[in-house]
Chains A and B, each alone.
Chain A
Amino acid sequence: MTLPIININADLPSVPRSGHFTRQFWQALGEGRFLLQQCTACTALRFPPGSICTECSGSETLWIEAGGRGTLYALTTVHAGPPALMRDGPYTRAIVDLNEGVRLIAEWLGDPQARFDTPVELVVTRYANGCLFGARSIAA
């Protein structure tokens, strides 16, 4: 499932590195796909991607594509952040639990007062110099 891509006319102050175990993730993200690693030894899903399975120390993995849906766990709005991120005022961030059973941090696009434990979808936030990911509410 391809994620919605939101174009943002600004630079990311801190661009994530792309490395041997992460470049596929960032490449796919730029194309609207959110990849998770799956350990071939114990089947655990792993995020962020990397060389070692946190559950079993296995090193062999498959890439699987997440469905892009999940649940909102928590939100906070940062009113005192690094100047480069405060350009447009306070910003809101989310902890999202994907339906696949993965927890991650995402930009929050939408009402900073949104109710927790409600459904969300992932989006790609495409900046001039790189991509991050965000989340927003969807109808139940």
Chain B
Amino acid sequence: MNAPRKVAIVGAAASPVGRWAPSDQDDDALFELDVLGPLVIAALAEAGLDRSAVDTAAFVTPSPSTRQLGFSTYMAARLGLRCNGSVSEVSALGVSGGLAFDQALADVALGRSETALALGISYQTNAPLPVVMEHSLRAVGDVDFQSPFGLTPISWYAFDAARYMHETGITREQIAQIAVKSRRHAMANELAQFRKELTLEEVLAQRMIVSPLGLFEVPSVADGAICLVLASEEAARASGKPYVTVEGRGYHHEGYHQIGGKPHDMTAFPAARQAARAALDTAGVSLGDIDLAELYAPCTITEVLVSEAIGFCAKGQGALDAAAGVTSLGGRIPINTSGGCLSRGHPPALTGLYGLLELREQLLGRCGARQVEGARLAMHCCESGNYNAALIHVLEGPK
């Protein structure tokens, strides 16, 4: 086997995040293939490639309401792919998008694949709410000892928020600044689901969803579709087109599913801390070298806690830093310039891929009004459960 090669992101295409899944009654519906297929062709075209170059297609497992099963092999066939690397579906709750990227990355790095796709489509908004609810309860809890209690995915983050407020004295109002900041970022992102300006007063005036979090402090339901194209850095350089490279990677699963069986600090997110350290080590850089970050954060509190766990903000400072602009565009470490889960939008299994796309566009200097000046090194983090697992990549822009 060859030594691992450095890998580049050479192309990408994505649909705006939003509510656009077709209903079952729509006889003019675009099925999954019809939305994702053109994105694959567009992403390859941006890289100057066609489908004959593709050796790997790492799909995020589509949402449970997807009628077509055997999704990856079906899609490979309909896209006309002939692959020597791998064709797969990847799934592990919120970390799925990052894992699909990881699979594509590994195939290229190990020489199994010259061109690899990390891609997926998620129709969330056309499924009946009770069905979505029932499925998500079974996904984020022990089906016998937790799910019967009715803990929705975001209710675990609500526990975090309540506990964090108890321990630090930080208020809901202070944590809610994350929602305002996310919206300000999303206003300049044409892929974002919500782009109308939002005030703190409006955030706080919404009805409760999972106390202490209201409607605008938790994510909305959303559809998404996205394709990233990866190739060796050597091939990327030879193409003459702009590219970003993957410099570091870290992963950690803490060994809990939502909460542990014995007392522990549930707001510490040690998986994020450890994955970040590993990713920075493999990249040979330090945290202070990172110019911006996309951090998987479905709720306001989640961004606060992961910012603190990784070390972008001191313990107890995450919300205060957001309010002070430290984590906004123009601040010391801009976080979630895409608008994040709250405003860019959150098709959960694809959120990792959308975050990676944002960093790629930033590092290529294409982000217009939300561009981070001089962005060169970026960190991406996605997670599953209550940050029980975290997967982190460090990307670098053109040299």
Contacts and interface: CB of A to CB of B under 8 A. Distances in A.
A79 B209 contact: yes
A78 B150 CA distance: 8
Contacts of B205: none
Contacts, number: 110
Contact of A48 (B134, B145, B155): B145
B152 A80 contact: yes
B162 A78 contact: no
Interface residues of A, number: 41
A78 B166 contact: no
A78 B210 contact: yes
Interface residues of B, number: 38
Chain A CB count within 10 A is highest, among B143, B147, B259, B263, for B263
B259 A95 contact: yes
Contact of A77 (B144, B163, B211, B255): B211
A82 B137 contact: yes
Interface stretch (A1-9, A58-66, A96-104): A96-104
Given A73-B163, A103-B263, A78 B145 contact: no
Given A16-B145, A22-B144, A77-B210, A95 B134 contact: no
B127 to A, nearest CB: 14
A75 B260 CA distance: 16
B171 to A, nearest CB: 14
Given A46-B261, A97-B263, A17 B144 contact: yes
B208 interface: yes
B78 interface: no
B48 interface: no
B262 interface: yes
Contacts of A106: 149
Interface in A79-100: 79-85, 90-91, 93, 95, 97
B111 to A, nearest CB: 37
A74 B163 contact: yes
B264 interface: yes
Closest 10 CB pairs of A and B: A76-B158, A48-B145, A16-B144, A85-B150, A77-B211, A82-B133, A74-B159, A74-B163, A14-B148, A97-B263
21 contacts: A14-B137, A14-B148, A17-B144, A54-B255, A74-B163, A76-B210, A76-B211, A78-B158, A80-B209, A82-B134, A82-B150, A83-B130, A85-B150, A91-B150, A95-B259, A97-B263, A103-B260, A103-B263, A105-B145, A116-B166, A132-B148
